[in-house]
Amino acid sequence: MDLTLQVWRQAGPNAPGRLVDYPAKDISPEMSFLEMLDIVNENLNAQGIEPIAFDHDCREGICGMCGLMINGLAHGPQLGTATCQLHMRKFNDGDTIVIEPWKAAGFPIVRDLAVDRSTFDRIIEAGGFITVPTGSASDANLTLVPKEVAEWSMDAAACIGCGACVAACPNSAAQLFTAAKIAHLSLLPQGQPERWTRVEAMVDKMEEFFGSCTNHGECETACPKEISLDFIALMNKDYMKAKFKNRRLVSQAG
Amino acid sequence: MVLELDAKIPEGDLDTLWEKHKFDMKLVNPNNKRKFDVIVVGTGLAGASAAASLAELGYNVKAFTFHDSPRRAHSIAAQGGINAAKNYHGDGDSVFRLFYDTVKGGDYRSREENVYRLAEVSLNIIDQATAQGVPFAREYGGKLDNRSFGGAQVSRTFYARGQTGQQLLLGAYQSLARVVGLGQVEMHTRTEMLDVVVKDGRAVGIVTRNLITGEIESHSAHAVVLATGGYSNVYYLSTNAMACNATAIWRAHRRGAAFANPCYTQIHPTCIPSAEEFQSKLTLMSESLRNDGRIWVSKKAGDDRKANEIPENERDYYLERRYPAFGNLVPRDVASRNAEAMINEGKGVGPLKNGVYLDFADSIKRLGEDTIRERYGNLFEMYERITDENPYEVPMRIYPAPHYTMGGLWVDYHLMTNIPGLYAIGEANFSDHGANRLGASALMQGLADGYFVLPYTIGNYLAPMLGEPLVPTDDVAFTEVESEVTERTNHWLSIKGTRSADYFHRELGKIMIAHCGMSRNEAGLKQALIEIPALYEEFKKDVKVLGSAETFNQSLENVQRVDDYFQLAELMCLDALKREESCGGHCREESQTEDGEALRNDDDFAYVAAWEWTGDPGKAEVTKEPLDFKYVKLSQRSYK
Ligand SMILES: Cc1cc2nc3c(=O)[nH]c(=O)nc-3n(C[C@H](O)[C@H](O)[C@H](O)COP(=O)(O)OP(=O)(O)OC[C@H]3O[C@@H](n4cnc5c(N)ncnc54)[C@H](O)[C@@H]3O)c2cc1C
Ligand code: FES
């Protein structure tokens, strides 16, 4: 296949950026999207043009490192698929493909297609954990967890932290990411003690960096792990409750 | 010079050894822990669990990863599960059985004492992870579910769907994030360690490069822990993530740390074969597929018919034929070597004739498509996404791929390398898997090291250093290394050759897989030891790296890793050449039983080969740490 790429090039965080055309010739439909970019980079290198920077690592849809806007869609046209798992057979000979980085104030551009998603770490640091210092746990089977609950928690825990939800959202909101982590932990019995402080801390931290959610639902469509919008509803409910519960807890503590 | 290697294995009975030793080791009292700085390089399962635990104890921790977040580490990709001797199913499992299986599975090339401790602390790992909220699979009664894995005769593998590594890593990452949030860990992301600093024989810090700004920096500490993962990517194509690399352990090796058993690599039999020349990595399909899939090729070489056009009596179910007792469930190394043999006989399948069939037709007939979908639905989907073929209708194609490296930095019972103050944990060390790792045991080892071993043993080293100031980063020990690193980094940009680092990496991979892959022989290894240095010379003259050292420059990151692979590859071949026996994943064609099985030579080779850097990787010097077995009886594996 022969394709034309229009790729976002930006030399650094504060440099101006623009779309640049590159041909991608003799592309095999068997290649993954990132392998296609590898070849383009190989050719650019040979011509003395600096290769296109893009993040990636596992190339099997689990590390959450890859993430490109492909023709305006986060992770491209195939549903439930991260960029690294997308294959060129989903495109046609002669296509023009526009490739851009995630664009969101919460994700500053590092270079070209690579962005800085460390704001996600800040949200987890605020409360996305269960406090259990090493060695303090009791026997695992002392806490029973209904199978359905474990499965539901796992559905939320499947989030790979790629940021497609933010990139796809017209408001650049991070509700789906944040809600998935809150649901993962707060659905489990182990997560109950910190349930109300967690949701408050994480939502407040999220709002420092990201826009607000107006229920477009684009995030769910873009999510390579097909994480459900229902978790956002759960988070909102818990957040409201937490406002009362946390205050009561504090007043009890005197 | 011959190294002095003391494994520091305590005296005593195996089953009380670790408990007793924990009591005997020196302690740092809680108020004094904050007076010690510890550097942890790598924040995968091993590093994140170590950094979190050390910070919780009160140490000042600085953690480093080249990823943009600890959650990206390659541990995230582990699918199958994690072993623990919980015996929740009352099927006869025990710490001793897990220990025994691991030593045997490693083909008797690991230390009994280390492995016993690993089996012991496996119990705590499951408790810890569950308490953190790792959503392990449950039974209907709410208890933890187990499955059997990798040929074990008991059900001891805990799992979270096909994402066990992801969930365990998120558990460790979240514990780490908690202490980062509390200011107890200084976290450096997108920062790559490029050298270790040693002063007066002790590890005193590291030199790093900030991958975004290019800044070269020094960091000082009382101890340095390397948790930087394995080196399967020396083969270019492997199941590892693209950025996994050997730089941290290789640079430590060059500073004097012994490298143990570099040739022990595991080639996993069930991966999706390459589809084209520009294939960038190989995808692992869970080993569990072999429970219900039958492996076969055509009896005729060069058969161009489609799978379903080949009648039953013209198919060769070669594993079932050769190993009637174990059939398709023979260990990884046996399955891999047999697949390679079939392809070498011209019986490979698929467009590039580089695979063998893994066929579910019989199981679908016997159990129904729904059952198969329930068991393997996500794997089948992944396969179809990559190959565009539907495995419910046509057999899968599989081929072995480099997957795990048992070799790594030599460490003693305390997980300390032979450089005092320098530790290696997780896949980066050589410690527990001998010549072959059992399925679901790497996650166990990484977390055992990070949560339950290192946090104890490091105190024993630090305690006597109370009050010793850090070596300042303007000390010559640091400034010298810093200028070496800066010079080396800039050097790549000045070569201005004609070919990319990837090109050379791919070529190196071809040599390695051909001569130091699934089976090895003297002539091939000698050939590789000529070809690798020759290609290396070309690389050094002709590699082309653009851009600058002061920006985010992925080609520059890559070229340095490839440089280190070249040297490591030579050492691997040298080690493989000198080990004139077959054991575990290391199959020397000259050393086989009459049935073509790997044949060990315990009289001459029951030792750990610890290599020392001499300035030329092809002329490294070996020190042998003898292995002696008091509890496990050495036997020849047989899967007939
Ligand atoms: C596809 C796949 C499936 C697997 N499935 C299983 C399974 O089911 N069960 C099982 O037990 N095992 C499995 N394994 C093996 C297991 O996942 C790994 O051995 C294990 O996770 C390694 O953990 P680690 O912490 O040692 O290293 P890693 O997770 O690789 O982490 C390395 C860390 O070091 C950092 N790093 C490396 N070098 C540097 C440097 N120079 N400077 C700064 N940072 C650096 C990286 O950023 C990263 O944070 C699987 C492996 C693969 C490839
Ligand atoms: S590269 Fe890991 S998810 Fe795409």
Compute the nearest-CA separation of A128 from chain B (Å): 6
With a 6 A CB cut-off, is B391 part of the ligand 1 pocket?
A: no
Average pLDDT, chain B: 95
Confidence of residue A38 (pLDDT cuts 50, 70, 90): very high
Distance from residue B244's CA to the centre of ligand 1 (Å): 8
Q: What is the pLDDT of residue B149?
A: 78
Looking at the DSSP bridge assignments, the partners of residue B429 are: B409
User: pLDDT tens-digit profile of B346-371?
Assistant: 999 999 999 999 999 999 999 999 99
- Whether residue A106 has pLDDT greater than 90: yes
% helix, strand, coil for chain B, step of 5: 40, 15, 40
Report the pLDDT averaged over residues B555-567: 98
Q: Give the one of A56, A111, A157 whose C-beta lies nearest to B552's C-beta.
A: A111
Q: How far apart are alpha carbons B261 and B268 in whole angstroms?
A: 19
Answer yes or no: do A129 and B178 touch at CB < 8 A.
yes
Answer yes or no: do B86 and A140 touch at CB < 8 A.
yes
Q: Are residues A62 and A173 in the same domain?
A: no
- For the CA atoms of B428, B430, B432, B433, what is the dihedral angle to 10 degrees? 100
| Structural domain total, chain A | 2
- Whether residue B1 has pLDDT greater than 60: no
Q: What is the pLDDT of residue B150?
A: 67
Average pLDDT, chain A: 96
Q: CATH number, domain at A183?
A: 1.10.1060.10
Q: What chain A residue is nearest to B78 in terms of C-alpha separation?
A: A62
- Whether residue B152 has pLDDT greater than 80: no
Q: Which phi-psi region, left, alpha or beta, contains residue A115 (left: φ > 0; alpha: ψ -120 to 50)?
A: beta
Ligand that comes closest to the CA of residue A61: 2
Report the pLDDT averaged over residues B420-428: 98
Q: Are residues A155 and A96 in the same domain?
A: no
Q: Give the one of B49, B52, B243 whose C-beta lies nearest to A57's C-beta.
A: B243
Alpha carbon distances (Å) from B457 to A44, B24, B60, B225, B484: 50, 11, 16, 12, 32
- Tell me which residue has its CA closest to atom 3 in ligand 2: A61
Q: What chain B residue is nearest to A49 in terms of C-alpha separation?
A: B546
Q: What is the pLDDT of residue B334?
A: 86
Answer yes or no: do B131 and A138 touch at CB < 8 A.
yes
Cβ–Cβ under 8 Å, residues B397 and B275: no
With a 6 A CB cut-off, is B67 part of the ligand 1 pocket?
A: yes
Confidence of residue B596 (pLDDT cuts 50, 70, 90): confident
Confidence of residue A253 (pLDDT cuts 50, 70, 90): low
Compute the nearest-CA separation of A73 from chain B (Å): 19
Higher pLDDT, A168 or B371: A168
Q: CATH number, domain at A16?
A: 3.10.20.30
Q: Are residues A93 and A153 in the same domain?
A: no
Largest CA distance in chain B: 77
Rounded to 10°, the helix B522-542/B554-578 angle is: 160
With a 6 A CB cut-off, is B248 part of the ligand 1 pocket?
A: yes
Q: Which of A58, A86, A87, A115 to mutate to test the pocket of ligand 2 (most atoms within 8 A of CB)?
A: A58
* Right CATH for B268-401 from 3.90.226.10, 3.90.700.10, 3.90.105.10, 3.40.50.720: 3.90.700.10
Q: Are residues A140 and A73 in the same domain?
A: no
Cβ–Cβ under 8 Å, residues B245 and B563: no
Q: Are residues A164 and A133 in the same domain?
A: yes
Answer yes or no: do A134 and B173 touch at CB < 8 A.
no
Q: Are residues A99 and A123 in the same domain?
A: no
Residues whose CB falls within 8 Å of the CB of residue B87, separated by 6 or more in sequence, listed in order: B93, B94, B154, B156
Active site residues of B: 332
Q: How far apart are alpha carbons A93 and A24 in whole angstroms?
A: 10
Q: Are residues A181 and A90 in the same domain?
A: no
Report the pLDDT averaged over residues A152-170: 98
Q: How far apart are alpha carbons B576 and A190 in whole angstroms?
A: 48
Q: What is the pLDDT of residue B148?
A: 81
> Where in the sequence is the domain holding A100, given as residue range(s)?
3-111
Q: How far apart are alpha carbons B102 and B114 in whole angstroms?
A: 11
Compute the nearest-CA separation of B609 from chain A (Å): 31
User: pLDDT tens-digit profile of A78-97?
Assistant: 999 999 999 999 999 999 99
A5's tokens: 């790429």
Report the pLDDT averaged over residues A62-72: 98
Confidence of residue B287 (pLDDT cuts 50, 70, 90): confident
Q: How far apart are alpha carbons B257 and B263 in whole angstroms?
A: 17
Rounded to 10°, the helix A195-209/A175-186 angle is: 170
Q: How far apart are alpha carbons A160 and B71 in whole angstroms?
A: 9
Q: What is the pLDDT of residue B286?
A: 85
**Which of A39-43, B381-385, B593-597 shows the lowest per-residue confidence on average (mean pLDDT)?**
B593-597
Q: Which atom of ligand 2 is nearest to the CA of A55?
A: 1
Q: What chain A residue is nearest to B79 in terms of C-alpha separation?
A: A62
B253's tokens: 């090796």
Q: Report the relative pairing of strands A69-70 and A73-74 from DSSP bridges.
A: antiparallel
Answer yes or no: do B133 and A153 touch at CB < 8 A.
yes
Could you say which of A76, A111, A146 is where a domain stops? A111
Residues whose CB falls within 8 Å of the CB of residue A149, separated by 6 or more in sequence, listed in order: A187, A188
Q: What is the pLDDT of residue A191?
A: 98
Q: Which of B310, B288, B439 is nearest to B372 (CA)?
A: B288
CATH topology of domain B485-625: Methane Monooxygenase Hydroxylase; Chain G, domain 1 (1.20.58)
Q: Are residues A156 and A211 in the same domain?
A: yes
Q: How far apart are alpha carbons A88 and A225 in whole angstroms?
A: 20
Confidence of residue B638 (pLDDT cuts 50, 70, 90): confident
Q: Which of B235, B432, B443, B561 to mutate to test the pocket of ligand 1 (most atoms within 8 A of CB)?
A: B443
3-state secondary structure of B224: strand
| Signed CA dihedral, B136, B138, B144, B146: sign only | negative
Residue ranges per structural domain of chain B: 268-401, 485-625
Confidence of residue B326 (pLDDT cuts 50, 70, 90): confident
Report the pLDDT averaged over residues A97-108: 97
Q: Give the one of A56, A63, A150 whose C-beta lies nearest to B135's C-beta.
A: A150
Residues whose CB falls within 8 Å of the CB of residue B59, separated by 6 or more in sequence, listed in order: B33, B34, B36, B37, B38
| Test the A interface: residue of B132, B169, B548 with most A CBs within 10 Å | B132
- Whether residue B229 has pLDDT greater than 90: yes
Could you say which of A111, A130, A165 is where a domain stops? A111
Q: Are residues A135 and A241 in the same domain?
A: yes
Distance from residue B283's CA to the centre of ligand 1 (Å): 15
Pocket of ligand 2, beta carbon within 6 A: A 56-59, 61-66, 82-84, 160
Distance from residue B74's CA to the centre of ligand 1 (Å): 4
- Whether residue B639 has pLDDT greater than 80: no
| Signed CA dihedral, B519, B523, B524, B529: sign only | positive
Phi, psi of B489 (to 5 degrees): -65, -45
Could you say which of A85, A111, A137 is where a domain stops? A111
- Whether residue A202 has pLDDT greater than 80: yes
Q: Which helix (H) or strand (E) holds B421?
A: none
**Which of A42-46, B77-81, B205-209 shows the lowest per-residue confidence on average (mean pLDDT)?**
B77-81
| Signed CA dihedral, B543, B546, B549, B553: sign only | negative
Q: How far apart are alpha carbons B391 and B270 in whole angstroms?
A: 14
- For the CA atoms of B313, B315, B316, B317, what is the dihedral angle to 10 degrees? -100
DSSP B431: -
Q: Which helix (H) or strand (E) holds B456?
A: helix B454-462
Q: Which of A217, A181, A223 is nearest to A64 (CA)?
A: A223
Q: What is the pLDDT of residue B170?
A: 98
- Whether residue B28 has pLDDT greater than 80: yes
With a 6 A CB cut-off, is B443 part of the ligand 1 pocket?
A: yes
Report the pLDDT averaged over residues B522-527: 98
- Whether residue A252 has pLDDT greater than 80: no
Q: Are residues A107 and A232 in the same domain?
A: no
Q: Are residues A187 and A65 in the same domain?
A: no
Confidence of residue B405 (pLDDT cuts 50, 70, 90): very high
Q: Give the one of B69, B128, B133 whose C-beta lies nearest to A118's C-beta.
A: B69
Q: What is the pLDDT of residue B211?
A: 98
Q: Are residues A151 and A249 in the same domain?
A: yes
Q: Number of C-alpha atoms within 13 angstroms, CB side, residue B432? A: 33
Q: How far apart are alpha carbons B295 and B398 in whole angstroms?
A: 9
- Tell me which residue has its CA closest to atom 38 in ligand 1: B228
Answer yes or no: do A137 and B130 touch at CB < 8 A.
yes
Alpha carbon distances (Å) from A169 to A7, A13, A192, A212, B541: 21, 22, 30, 10, 48
